[in-house]
Structure 1
Amino acid sequence: MASPFLARAVVLAGVLGLAACKGEPAAGPSAPSAIPVTMGVVQPVAWSDTVQALGTAHARESVTLTAKISEIVDQVHFESGQHVQAGQPLVTLRVDAQEAALGEAESTLAEAEQQYRRLQGLADQQLVARSTLDAQRALRDVAAARVRQMRSDIRDRHVRAPFSGVLGIRQISPGALLTPNSVIATLDDLSRVYVDFQVPEAALSAMVPGARVTAGTTAWPGEQFTGEVEVVDARVDPTTRAVTVRANFDNPEGKLRPGMLLDVRLFRPERQALVVPEIAVVQVGRESFVYRVDADGKVEQAAVRAGVRRDGLAEIVEGLKAGDRIVVDGTGKLRPGVVVAEVEARPARTPAKDDAPGEDAVVPARN
């Protein structure tokens, strides 16, 4: 039988052992590692956004050539596509009867003028009444008016170019009966062209005469034509709430043709703006946000309002300020509160001469 002292020793050892076991730290899961992402620091940059629209080209001067009278075509003095000068003869109609009538009218005028001068001499000597002289003056004036009428009738039978330009396809031939409804050809002055396009009234403040405009067309891929705003329509369409703008383009090579559809871009004045890469902006329904990184490396959702987007960049109108560090690439694996780490600094670009303003909007984050 064990002694009381030995029993107390066993109980004390058990209590100490249990206390030692309770004092040991419990093994738990390891802390989560930081998620690798690409980050950038938002900085204000020079930014010039654009107003984009579709426009239609018109010749500086354009006309469909017709005749004022009905007559047989005697001669055609041009070929399709020919460049002509102002006043150059294009078509001659038959004028035999009119020239004969003009000769008769000129003879009548000459006789009336001679008779008037004879009577004027007699009237000065008071050998004839003044009323006789006045009647002869009237006959002379009528004969002169008849001559002017016949000459005008003959001019109507000579169709001339009203201005310098390029003729379209010829629609008539010698011997054809030409009427006022018959089309001879089209004539366009292509040295300069107008491009009419519509912009929303919200962009009206940027539509000032002299503003720079560029345009492109599928007919000349990759080529940009430069012009300037010439006039803004005085009225806004109450249905579409859009205003028509006319831009003026030099066209020395004649590449732009009337009726062409052009993609027009008008550059607004340069200003300072916060611009981020478009991939940094997360769109969920109608809401947009970016992941902003705090000093501890944790991310939070910052609701933003994006403005103009261009060339892979987006202007941030609300929600960010200069100096904010955001996640640029890798947003698909994030949620608020997680820790991120920069894995690869994006090299800072030196904008080339042809870069659009705002290309270097986000400065790479430095750890």
Structure 2
Amino acid sequence: MSSPRNKRTSSRTTRRLLAGGVVVALAVLAAWYWKSHTATSDESAWRTTTVERGDIRVAISATGTLSAISTVTIGSQVSGQVTDVLVDFNDKVVKDQVIARIDPSTYEAQINQGNAQVASARASLEQAQATLANAEADYRRKAELGAQQLVARSDIDLARAARDQARAQVNAAQAQIRQQSASTETTRINLGRTVIRSPVDGVVLTRTIEPGQTVAASLQAPELFTIAEDLSKMKIELAVDESDIGQVRAGQSVSFTADAFPDRQFGGVVDQVRLSATTTSNVVTYPVVVTVDNADGTLLPGLTVNAEIEVSKRDDVLKVANAALRYKPSSDDAGGPAPRTRGGGAMIDDLARTAASLKLDATQQAAFDAAVEAIRQRQAARQVAPQPDGNSLFGGRGRGPRSTGGASGALQAQIRQRVLERYQQDFAALRAALDDGQRQQWDAAVSALVGARRAPLYKLVDGQPQAVMVRIGAGDGTSTEVSGDIEAGDLVVTGERARQ
């Protein structure tokens, strides 16, 4: 048996162990809480995204309807009862093929009547010619007797008048023959029109007549058939909103889908941007015609399609999520105020990349370097003596054009125009040394750089946001092309997390 003293000793030891374990557990728990709380506080103060390098595809969405490129509506120029309909829906026809007939009996009877009238007019002509011959003979006799003063002058005048009347009757009979012949020819043409022929090679889309139906063409030509000339080539007429139409050009690629073929995507090319605007409920749209290759015959006329016009595609550019461009710091000390645009330095860097892509020769490169050096000297002079009003084209202290803030669009356009003119003056020697292709690329690049929009990004540096001004390029609705003092892999702030 154990003694009471041993039991008391064992109990105290157990209590000490338990107390020590609790202390250790509390210490571990406190350390874990402090570490996790500190890490969370450091890591989650800002929501960020990474600047990436990739492709940007800008597309405009629109809806439209498929149709044949050339559709011919066939009508009837004559009235009558349809006796034969020789083609049906979806039948293929060739040019001059008979596709319907109208009862010709009425026109055949009119032709017979016209022939009889012509024959009667010919008989009248022969009678008038005989009367004319007799009148001319009588006039000659009396004229000879009158020369011998054997007949009165009045008899000679009467004979002359009778001759002239006989000539007029002959002319009237001849005109009557021509009139009746023309009328008969018109009826004969209408008889030919009772046979309806296809004017083109194609496919019958619609047929609106049946045998026995009466066609009345007295007021307007009734539509009997609709024939699509060639369904291997089709077109889509898209309705593009006025806010997007300025980006659409002929030759741009188009991808589209149709509900009838949900698992397949088709392609086309913009063929025409029409000027005839349509206004519906105060919404202005312009028709854009897209040509489509339908060699396999899959697409059908009348299908509604959802199309995307690819207006721009930028490959291997820096891009950032749009949320980063929308972020604005909630406090004044979060990254400080947005910087002004560094047009002098950033623009020169961008123009240097453009010049490198042009593969300049030694003379051209020397002209570029001279222009850049002149710009940098001018900027250095402004750093020493900045303009009080800060209205220099490149901003004081080597900065680019001042941010216009709430300035009107007209003022922004004026500033951009002034900057563009200054760059054209600075690089006039370089432009003169470029060939036509290089000059076109250079002018397009300078115009794009000067006219580009700019916005602040907040780059995360040492755990704190630092404002940098970037130039904004193309956007696809999710990401936007950016350039400036930023690189792939940089973290930029998209938002702030709630304080713990």
Please confirm whether the aligned pair reaches a TM-score higher than 0.5, indicating the same fold.
yes
1:305-364 superposed Cα distances (whole Å, 9 cap, x missing partner): 896336xx511569x753164449x989x74999xxxxxxxxxxxxxxxxxxxxxxxxxx
Structure 2 residue 167 is the aligned partner of structure 1 residue 137:
no
Conserved? CA contact 1:212–1:229, under 8 Å: no
Q: 1:39 to 1:204 in 2, by over 3 A?
A: closer
Partner of 2:244: 203
User: In structure 2, what is the Cα distance between the partners aligned to 1:231 and 1:41?
Assistant: 37
Alignment of 1:292-331 (within 5 A): 292-294=459-461, 296-298=462-464, 308-309=475-476, 313-316=478-481, 321-323=485-487, 325-327=489-491
Aligned residues: 303
Partner of 1:230: 272
Stretch of structure 1 that moved more, 264-273 or 159-168: 264-273
Structure 2 residue 85 is the aligned partner of structure 1 residue 76:
yes
Structure 2 residue 347 is the aligned partner of structure 1 residue 276:
no
Residue 224 of structure 1 deviates from its aligned partner by: 1.1
User: In structure 1, what is the Cα distance between the partners aligned to 2:312 and 2:51?
Assistant: 25
Residue 251 of structure 1 deviates from its aligned partner by: 3.0
Conserved? CA contact 2:249–2:270, under 8 Å: no
Residue 95 of structure 1 deviates from its aligned partner by: 0.9
1:158-188 superposed Cα distances (whole Å, 9 cap, x missing partner): 2222333211354544334344597644322
Q: 1:241 to 1:168 in 2, by over 3 A?
A: closer
1:160 to 186, 191, 197: 197
Residue 302 of structure 1 deviates from its aligned partner by: 8.5
Conserved? CA contact 1:290–1:326, under 8 Å: no
Conserved? CA contact 1:192–1:252, under 8 Å: yes
Residue 142 of structure 1 deviates from its aligned partner by: 0.7
Determine helix, strand or coil for the equivalent of 1:209: coil
| Aligned residue type for 2:306 | D
Conserved? CA contact 1:231–1:247, under 8 Å: no
Q: 1:171 to 1:200 in 2, by over 3 A?
A: closer
Structure 2 residue 144 is the aligned partner of structure 1 residue 103:
no
Alignment of 1:29-44 (within 5 A): 32-33=38-39, 35=43, 40-43=50-53
Determine helix, strand or coil for the equivalent of 1:323: coil
Q: 1:120 to 1:210 in 2, by over 3 A?
A: farther
Residue 112 of structure 1 deviates from its aligned partner by: 4.7
1:28-87 superposed Cα distances (whole Å, 9 cap, x missing partner): 9559346499964445x6644111111122322335544445432211211321011233
Structure 1 gaps of 5+ residues are: 1-26, 339-367
Structure 2 gaps of 5+ residues are: 1-29, 138-162, 331-454
Determine helix, strand or coil for the equivalent of 2:168: helix
User: In structure 1, what is the Cα distance between the partners aligned to 2:241 and 2:312?
Assistant: 17
Determine helix, strand or coil for the equivalent of 1:100: helix
Determine helix, strand or coil for the equivalent of 2:283: coil
User: In structure 1, what is the Cα distance between the partners aligned to 2:234 and 2:325?
Assistant: 43
User: In structure 2, what is the Cα distance between the partners aligned to 1:133 and 1:161?
Assistant: 46
Conserved? CA contact 2:56–2:474, under 8 Å: no
Between structures 1 and 2, the one with greater strand share: 1
Residue 257 of structure 1 deviates from its aligned partner by: 2.8
Between structures 1 and 2, the one with greater helix share: 2
Residue 145 of structure 1 deviates from its aligned partner by: 1.6
| Aligned residue type for 1:202 | S
Partner of 1:19: none
User: In structure 1, what is the Cα distance between the partners aligned to 2:298 and 2:275?
Assistant: 26
Partner of 2:16: none
Please report the RMSD computed on the Cα atoms of aligned residues, expressed in angstroms: 4.7
2:303 to 217, 238, 260: 260
Conserved? CA contact 2:460–2:490, under 8 Å: yes
Determine helix, strand or coil for the equivalent of 1:259: coil
Conserved? CA contact 2:253–2:267, under 8 Å: no
TM-score normalised by structure 1 residue count: 0.63
Q: Percent identity?
A: 21
Determine helix, strand or coil for the equivalent of 1:202: coil
Conserved? CA contact 2:68–2:233, under 8 Å: yes
Conserved? CA contact 2:59–2:310, under 8 Å: yes
User: In structure 1, what is the Cα distance between the partners aligned to 2:456 and 2:241?
Assistant: 27
Q: 1:245 to 1:169 in 2, by over 3 A?
A: closer
User: In structure 1, what is the Cα distance between the partners aligned to 2:213 and 2:111?
Assistant: 25
Q: 1:240 to 1:133 in 2, by over 3 A?
A: same
Conserved? CA contact 2:93–2:204, under 8 Å: yes
User: In structure 2, what is the Cα distance between the partners aligned to 1:253 and 1:113?
Assistant: 63
TM-score normalised by structure 2 residue count: 0.49
Q: 1:173 to 1:42 in 2, by over 3 A?
A: closer
Structure 2 residue 285 is the aligned partner of structure 1 residue 242:
yes
Residue 234 of structure 1 deviates from its aligned partner by: 4.0
1:141-169 superposed Cα distances (whole Å, 9 cap, x missing partner): 21122112212321332222233321135
| Aligned residue type for 2:80 | E
User: In structure 2, what is the Cα distance between the partners aligned to 1:69 and 1:59?
Assistant: 28
Determine helix, strand or coil for the equivalent of 1:75: strand
The structure that has the greater radius of gyration is 2
Partner of 2:257: 216
Partner of 1:10: none
By relative contact order (CA 8 Å, sep 6+), the higher-ranking structure is 1
Conserved? CA contact 1:57–1:260, under 8 Å: yes
User: In structure 2, what is the Cα distance between the partners aligned to 1:183 and 1:217?
Assistant: 29
Q: 1:41 to 1:68 in 2, by over 3 A?
A: same
1:117-154 superposed Cα distances (whole Å, 9 cap, x missing partner): 99889989967754233212211221122112212321
| Aligned residue type for 2:88 | E
Conserved? CA contact 1:293–1:326, under 8 Å: yes
User: In structure 2, what is the Cα distance between the partners aligned to 1:269 and 1:260?
Assistant: 27
Conserved? CA contact 1:300–1:336, under 8 Å: no
1:226-263 superposed Cα distances (whole Å, 9 cap, x missing partner): 12232322446482133222223233333333321111
Determine helix, strand or coil for the equivalent of 1:49: strand
